[in-house]
Amino acid sequence: MLGKNGRLVGIVARPSDGACDLPAIVILNTGIVHRVGHHRMYVGMSRQLASAGHTVVRFDFSGIGDSVARHDDLSPIRACLSEIKEVLDGIADNYGVRRFVLVGLCSGADHAVLYGRGDPRVEGLVLMDPTLPPTARYYFHYVMQRFANLRSWFSVATGRSGLLHLVASHLLSQVEPKATGIERLALQDLQFSPYLAQCYRAVAERGVRMLAVFTSVSVRHTYHKQILDSFPEASAGGALRLEYFPESDHVFSTPSARKRLSRLIESWLLIG
SS3 10: strand
Q: Is residue 36 part of a domain?
A: yes
> Which domain range does residue 222 map to?
4-133+196-271
Q: Is residue 166 part of a domain?
A: no
Task: Tell me the range of 17-21, 92-96, 259-263 where mean pLDDT is highest.
Answer: 259-263
Q: Is residue 116 part of a domain?
A: yes
What's residue 47's pLDDT?
A: 95
When pLDDT is averaged across residues 83-97 and rounded to a whole number, the result is: 94
pLDDT tens-digit readout, 8-55: 999 999 998 766 689 999 999 999 999 999 999 999 999 999 999 999
CATH number at residue 232: 3.40.50.1820
What's residue 218's pLDDT?
A: 67
Q: Is residue 216 part of a domain?
A: yes
Q: Is residue 87 part of a domain?
A: yes
What's residue 150's pLDDT?
A: 47
When pLDDT is averaged across residues 192-212 and rounded to a whole number, the result is: 91
Q: Is residue 91 part of a domain?
A: yes
What's residue 105's pLDDT?
A: 97
DSSP per-residue string spanning 31-47 = TTB-TT-GGGHHHHHHH
Domain count for the chain: 1
SS3 59: strand
Question: What is Dmax (Cα atoms) for the chain?
Answer: 62
Q: Is residue 96 part of a domain?
A: yes
Q: Is residue 127 part of a domain?
A: yes
Q: For 130, list phi and psi in degrees, rounded to 5.
A: -75, 170
Distance in angstroms (rounded) separating the CA atoms of residues 227 and 270: 24
pLDDT tens-digit readout, 127-179: 999 999 888 887 776 666 655 554 544 454 455 555 545 555 554 555 455 55
Instruction: Provide the whole-model pTM.
Output: 0.86
Least-confidence region, from 70-79, 179-188, 236-245? 179-188
Distance in angstroms (rounded) separating the CA atoms of residues 194 and 178: 7
